[in-house]
């Protein structure tokens, strides 16, 4: 079955690191994505990782993938108030639709 789960809420202090976690169930997923949604807006693609990779770093963002445990995480270094948003992980289905299945989103609050 297709299911992606995330914790609902995370609060960190400005300057600290944030770690947002995600678990997925479909072992045939090829790509996994992280999206950011600011209030009242659409979703912005942050980064992605291919399923044969363990880690990917992109400036302040680090994605870790544990394929055995089907666990994905997003680490944001030096978190800023502008990082406050909802973060969604998503897995890509391998069928011809290439649709994405999204988690319920983690609301990140950055305290000054």
Partner 1 sequence: SQTIHQWPATLVQPVGSPLSLECTVEGTSNPNLYWYRQAAGRGLQLLFYSVGIGQISSEVPQNLSASRPQDRQFILSSKKLLLSDSGFYLCAWSLPGQGPRGSPLHFGNGTRLTVT
Contact set with partner 1 (CB under 8 A): 30-31, 33, 35, 40-45, 48, 50, 88, 90, 92, 96-105
Closest CA to 71 of 23, 2, 18: 23
105 — phi, psi (to 5°)?
A: 90, 145
* Nearer CB in complex with partner 1: 17/28: 28
* Nearer CB in complex with partner 1: 11/17: 11
Give the C-alpha separation, 19 to 38, whole Å.
Answer: 18
With H, G, I as helix, E, B as strand and everything else as coil, classify residue 42. coil
Least separation in angstroms between residue 4's CB and partner 1 is: 8
Least separation in angstroms between residue 76's CB and partner 1 is: 19
Least separation in angstroms between residue 22's CB and partner 1 is: 11
* Nearer CB in complex with partner 1: 31/60: 31
Q: What share of the chain is helix, strand, coil (3-state, %, to 5)?
A: 5, 55, 40
């Amino acid at each position: 079955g297709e299911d992606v789960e995330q914790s609902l809420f995370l609060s960190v202090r400005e300057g600290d690191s944030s770690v947002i976690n995600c678990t997925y169930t479909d072992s045939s997923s090829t790509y996994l994505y992280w999206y950011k949604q600011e209030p009242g807006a659409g979703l912005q693609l942050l980064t992605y990782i291919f399923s044969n990779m363990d880690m990917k770093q992109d400036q302040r963002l680090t994605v870790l993938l544990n394929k055995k445990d089907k666990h994905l995480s997003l680490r944001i270094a030096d978190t800023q108030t502008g990082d406050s948003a909802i973060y969604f992980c998503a897995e890509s289905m391998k069928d011809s639709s290439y649709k994405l299945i999204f988690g319920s989103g983690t609301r990140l609050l950055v305290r000054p």
